[in-house]
Amino acid sequence: MDRNYKKSSDQKLIDRCSEIARPASFRNRIKLFHHLSQVSPFPHLVGFSGLSSYEIYSEKIALVSPDHSFLLRILHDQLSGRLEAYLLHPLEHKYRYAYIMLENQNREFLTDHHGWAVLGQVDQDRSLAAVSVCPPSAIFEWRPDGEPVRIYAEEHLKDCRLKTELFSVGPQATLKVQSVNLPADSEIKRMILVIDDQETLIAVPQNDLTFYELPENAGSMRIYLYE
């Protein structure tokens, strides 16, 4: 019995180590389907202001969610040869910092503030056959002098709270973040700290707990939770 216990304990340890290394199997992923209508010949019209001229892009594929609320446009950057993804949704918390998963390649990408992600050099025939997205399940705003405030949460996470503690011993401040009051069947697979438009820190919580080492002079930040 002891040997069995040790075996299962070792296996648990191996599983948890691989959870840190591998893409997460998100619970609330939404599968996307190929959109059969004519793709737009003017990708620059879909919120690309400030980026390079549209001529360098060509739209490859458009994918939609079953309820047509999510639209994912895959664009090809003619200059670099890489693929880029642009996620659209009427609600900003659905496309900002959402995960895009290429199921066949077992890879995940995180969109930025504008719903944009660089996929890089991927084999589009194989990789884009099965794509899903996972928007954040809850969003909190954290300030150095206060408790995290909930900005958005899905219905079943309405009671979920974040407990934070800031440790500033030494040159590097560390932020301890713990999710509490989670429903029994819910598990936070990723916790993302968005410091600013350029810097995000992606953690795999252990026991619903994460320690982030903050950059100097970090101000208020947003914390995104994914199930």
By CB under 8 A, name the binding residues for other proteins. 9, 12-14, 16-18, 20-22, 110, 112, 144-145, 165-169, 173-174, 176, 198-207, 209-213
For the bound state, the minimum distance from the C-beta of residue 169 to other proteins, rounded and expressed in Å, comes to 8
Which tokens belong to 204?
A: 């795999």
For the bound state, the minimum distance from the C-beta of residue 104 to other proteins, rounded and expressed in Å, comes to 15
Closer to other proteins by CB, 56 or 203: give it: 203
For the bound state, the minimum distance from the C-beta of residue 165 to other proteins, rounded and expressed in Å, comes to 7
CA distances (Å), origin 24, targets 13, 33, 88, 100: 16, 21, 22, 11
For the bound state, the minimum distance from the C-beta of residue 80 to other proteins, rounded and expressed in Å, comes to 16
Q: What is the DSSP string of 161-208?
A: EEEEEEE--SSS-EEEEEEES--TT----EEEEE-SSS-EEEE--BTT
181 contact partners, CB below 8 Å, separation of at least 6: 159, 160, 161
Closer to other proteins by CB, 61 or 98: give it: 98
For the bound state, the minimum distance from the C-beta of residue 130 to other proteins, rounded and expressed in Å, comes to 19
Q: What is the DSSP letter of 50?
A: T
| Rounded-to-integer distance, Cα 208 and Cα 122, Å | 33
Closer to other proteins by CB, 95 or 153: give it: 95
Closer to other proteins by CB, 61 or 101: give it: 101
Closer to other proteins by CB, 140 or 212: give it: 212
For the bound state, the minimum distance from the C-beta of residue 175 to other proteins, rounded and expressed in Å, comes to 9
Closer to other proteins by CB, 36 or 169: give it: 169
Q: Where are the beta strands (DSSP E) in the chain?
A: 30-34, 57-64, 71-77, 83-88, 99-102, 107-110, 116-120, 131-134, 138-142, 149-153, 161-167, 174-180, 190-194, 200-203, 209-213, 221-226
